[in-house]
């Protein structure tokens, strides 16, 4: 204000140069907009500099409407035009893609798009808005590119999941002898993680001299996403981070290490990390607690995952979905449904993640009445439009024995995708309705929905035309058969008594289900020779599996080879292979009756 007073005293307040400086000062000292306007309106002559300072000032404080108004007034005078500085400031206050495109149109009108500053800002903003094609067009038209330009396009691609394109741009930058800075290297690292290029990611990571926690976390997440076998590399990097002086692991760090624990082989690492989390007091954080539950679930530790869940301070829908899914995965469907009820009682609503788990639990218990309650919930709370929720209902009804309700649930979908079609085809296949399964598949093809391996798995198990569909899968849709597909072929040939052909299909392959199918067929057809080969193959793959021993023993007995049968039973006893007792469920008058060989129990049933 003192400077402004001196300017008035000296008569400079009406001068264009001094006036522009005063306007700029008022914006910089805290957005004194009224004072800036007062100076601006008091100027006798306003040149381009004055207008640009005024527009830039309002853009800087986010007053977009005022910027547009001033810009319109400025265009009345043909002698005035905005400069690069004005556009760059204006662009930076844009809040959506439409605004960016509007200003870009003005930039093109005034011919400033090829300017490095303007071009770089446009590349950055289009990338943040997800319009990567626009970013690429601009950068390709620019005569020169600086570090910010390259950083904008690389981070834009990485941010939007286009890892390969990000690395291509990173390579182009390096070929033009532009030395990458920390931001560009971090973006390149993120891109490597996205496309699974872990080796390139390691090289980029080692080039980052001043690594922040984001870089460390990106690298560890890269290892975690590889899947099984990544835990050693991930924990090694984690220990390296712990030894650094200036950085500490955060939530994302712990999440990445826990995510790398993919099987029971990684359980010890998971236990160590869980212990460190407890000691650091991070168990109160829901994200971390959820990661702990997920880790124990993947490692097959149902009891420990439940303990982690029970000790949580705050449970969200992900927490409930994880623990319910764990029980469903382990076949403990009744407890899964009890947790569903507890979840609702706690005030956490069912979501598109938890609902399919609940209906799957109903499928496991053949509890169609309970499944229908969930169907009412789905309709009432607007989940009918969710393809995965509806597909789970189709699956539930067919597994409960009601294909009529399954077809009805399918017809409720306006635009069924491959998941919904697969559920219906699988249902028809399981109910022995081969013609309906084929008709549904043909309907899917007419709708130009591309079938996947699950579609063909259902078809192969549905009908006797398995060879035709097997070849269709390979030739037309270029889907590489998996062991499950071979198992279906084996089943078709085995049921027809063509055991030699069935054996030739899988003789050089490993897959328990296929060999078990063949072994069962050998028992039914009394083929001891192929049965013996099949059993030995199964014992090699899983020495503790009782099924191969029992089936082969039955084959020997049927063929009158009593000594071989007794020897096999003796071997089972020596290596302590036990046959799991059969069990089943029956729901009568809101009570679950569990039947196990030698045991009978009545369990309490929970209604919603």
User: How much is the average pLDDT of 432-447?
Assistant: 94
pLDDT above 60: residue 21: no
pLDDT above 60: residue 9: no
Q: What is the percentage of the chain residues whose pLDDT exceeds 70?
A: 81
What integer pLDDT is reported at residue 497 of this predicted model? 87
pLDDT above 60: residue 510: yes
Residue, of 163 and 133, whose pLDDT is higher:
133
Residue, of 101 and 339, whose pLDDT is higher:
339
User: How much is the average pLDDT of 209-235?
Assistant: 81
Which are the contacts of 388, defined by CB distance < 8 A and separation ≥ 6? Answer: 352, 356, 419
Q: Give the SS3 label for residue 446.
A: helix
Which are the contacts of 353, defined by CB distance < 8 A and separation ≥ 6? Answer: 317, 318, 321
pLDDT above 60: residue 10: no
pLDDT above 60: residue 17: no
pLDDT above 50: residue 12: no
What integer pLDDT is reported at residue 4 of this predicted model? 43
pLDDT-wise least confident of 175-184, 251-260, 509-518: 175-184
Query: Taking a C-beta distance cutoff of 8 angstroms, is the pair 85, 55 a contact?
Result: no
- What would the pLDDT profile of 314-329 be if each residue is shown by its tens digit? 999 999 999 999 999 9
| C-alpha dist (Å) from residue 299 to 156, 264, 295, 543 | 36, 4, 6, 21
**Two tokens at 39?**
């100076």
Average pLDDT, the chain: 81
What integer pLDDT is reported at residue 22 of this predicted model? 65
Query: Taking a C-beta distance cutoff of 8 angstroms, is the pair 429, 437 a contact?
Result: yes
Question: What is the pTM for the complete model shown?
Answer: 0.68
- What would the pLDDT profile of 42-101 be if each residue is shown by its tens digit? 565 666 677 777 777 777 766 777 777 777 777 666 666 776 767 777 777 776 788 778
- What would the pLDDT profile of 452-508 be if each residue is shown by its tens digit? 999 999 999 887 677 889 999 999 999 999 988 988 888 888 888 889 998 998 888
What's the rounded Cα separation, in Å, for the pair 399 and 123?
53
Q: Give the SS3 label for residue 498.
A: coil
CA dihedral (161, 165, 168, 173) in degrees, to 10, reads -80
What integer pLDDT is reported at residue 118 of this predicted model? 80
pLDDT above 50: residue 281: yes
User: How much is the average pLDDT of 293-303?
Assistant: 93
- What would the pLDDT profile of 138-190 be if each residue is shown by its tens digit? 888 887 788 788 788 888 888 787 878 878 888 888 777 777 776 767 777 77
User: How much is the average pLDDT of 388-407?
Assistant: 94
**450 pLDDT band (50/70/90 cuts)?**
very high
Q: What's the per-residue H, E or C state across 121-163?
A: HHHHHHHHCCCHHHHHHHHHHCCCCCHHHHHHHHHHHHHCCCH
What integer pLDDT is reported at residue 112 of this predicted model? 63
Residue, of 9 and 70, whose pLDDT is higher:
70
What integer pLDDT is reported at residue 2 of this predicted model? 45
pLDDT-wise least confident of 260-264, 299-303, 494-498, 604-608: 604-608
What integer pLDDT is reported at residue 6 of this predicted model? 45
What's the rounded Cα separation, in Å, for the pair 577 and 580?
10
**371 pLDDT band (50/70/90 cuts)?**
very high
User: How much is the average pLDDT of 185-214?
Assistant: 76
What integer pLDDT is reported at residue 559 of this predicted model? 75
pLDDT above 90: residue 436: yes
What integer pLDDT is reported at residue 442 of this predicted model? 95
pLDDT-wise least confident of 40-44, 123-127, 216-220, 368-372: 40-44
What integer pLDDT is reported at residue 592 of this predicted model? 62
What integer pLDDT is reported at residue 567 of this predicted model? 79
Q: Give the SS3 label for residue 587.
A: strand
Strands 599-604 and 591-596 come out as: antiparallel
What integer pLDDT is reported at residue 25 of this predicted model? 62
What integer pLDDT is reported at residue 577 of this predicted model? 54
Maximum CA extent, the chain: 122
Could you tell me which of 96, 361, 596 has the C-alpha nearest to residue 350? 361
**Two tokens at 517?**
């199918």
Could you tell me which of 445, 361, 374 has the C-alpha nearest to residue 405? 374
pLDDT above 60: residue 13: no
């Amino acid at each position: 204000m003192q400077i402004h007073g001196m300017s008035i005293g000296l008569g400079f307040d009406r001068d264009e140069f001094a006036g522009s400086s005063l306007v700029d000062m008022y914006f910089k000292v805290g957005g004194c907009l009224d004072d800036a306007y007062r100076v601006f309106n008091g100027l006798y002559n306003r040149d381009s500099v004055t207008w640009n300072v005024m527009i830039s000032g309002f853009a800087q404080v986010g007053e977009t409407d005022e910027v547009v108004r001033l810009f319109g007034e400025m265009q009345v005078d043909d002698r005035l035009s905005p400069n690069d500085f004005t556009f760059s400031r204006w662009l930076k206050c844009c809040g959506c893609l439409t605004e960016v495109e509007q200003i870009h149109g003005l930039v093109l009108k005034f011919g400033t798009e090829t300017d490095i500053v303007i071009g770089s800002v446009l590349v950055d903003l289009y990338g943040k808005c997800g319009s990567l094609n626009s970013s690429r067009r601009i950068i390709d038209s620019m005569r020169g590119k600086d570090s910010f330009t390259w950083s904008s396009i690389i981070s834009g691609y990485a941010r939007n999941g286009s890892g390969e394109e990000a690395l291509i741009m990173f390579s182009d930058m390096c070929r033009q002898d532009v030395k990458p800075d920390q931001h560009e290297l971090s973006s390149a690292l993120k891109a490597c993680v996205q496309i699974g290029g872990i080796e390139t990611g390691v090289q980029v990571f080692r080039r980052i001299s001043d690594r922040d926690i984001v870089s460390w976390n990106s690298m560890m997440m890269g290892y975690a996403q590889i899947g099984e076998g990544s835990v050693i590399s991930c924990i090694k990097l984690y220990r390296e981070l712990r030894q650094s002086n200036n950085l500490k692991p955060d939530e994302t760090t712990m999440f990445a290490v826990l995510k790398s624990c993919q099987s029971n082989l990684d359980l010890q690492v998971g236990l160590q990390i869980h212990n460190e989390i407890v000691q650091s007091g991070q168990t109160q954080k829901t994200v971390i607690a959820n990661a702990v539950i997920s880790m124990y679930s993947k490692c097959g530790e149902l009891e420990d995952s439940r303990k982690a869940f029970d000790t949580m301070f705050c449970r969200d829908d992900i927490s409930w979905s994880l623990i319910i899914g764990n029980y469903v995965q382990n076949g403990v469907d009744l407890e899964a449904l009890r947790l569903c009820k507890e979840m609702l009682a706690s005030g956490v609503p069912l979501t598109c993640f938890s609902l399919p788990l609940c209906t799957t639990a109903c499928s496991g218990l053949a509890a169609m009445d309970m499944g229908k309650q969930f169907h009412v919930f789905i309709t009432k709370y607007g989940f009918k439009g969710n393809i995965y929720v509806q597909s789970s209902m189709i699956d539930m009804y067919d597994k409960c024995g009601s294909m009529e309700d399954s077809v009805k649930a399918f017809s409720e979908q306006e635009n069924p995708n491959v998941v919904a079609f697969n559920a219906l085809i699988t249902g028809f296949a399981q109910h022995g309705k081969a013609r309906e399964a084929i008709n549904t598949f043909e309907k899917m093809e007419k709708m130009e929905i591309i079938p996947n391996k699950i579609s063909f798995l259902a078809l192969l198990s549905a009908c006797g035309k398995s060879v035709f569909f097997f070849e269709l899968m390979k030739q037309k849709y270029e889907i590489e058969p998996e062991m499950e597909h071979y198992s279906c072929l084996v089943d078709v040939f085995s049921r027809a008594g063509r055991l030699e052909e069935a054996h030739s299909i899988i003789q050089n392959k490993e897959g328990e289900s296929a060999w078990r199918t063949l072994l069962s067929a050998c028992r039914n057809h009394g083929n001891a020779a192929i049965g013996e080969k099949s059993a030995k193959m199964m014992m090699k793959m899983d020495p503790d599996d009782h099924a191969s021993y029992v089936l082969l023993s039955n084959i020997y007995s049927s063929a009158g080879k009593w000594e071989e049968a007794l020897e096999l039973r003796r071997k089972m006893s020596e290596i302590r292979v036990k046959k799991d007792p059969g069990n089943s469920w029956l729901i009568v008058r809101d009570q679950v009756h569990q039947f196990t060989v030698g045991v009978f129990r009545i369990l309490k049933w929970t209604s919603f």
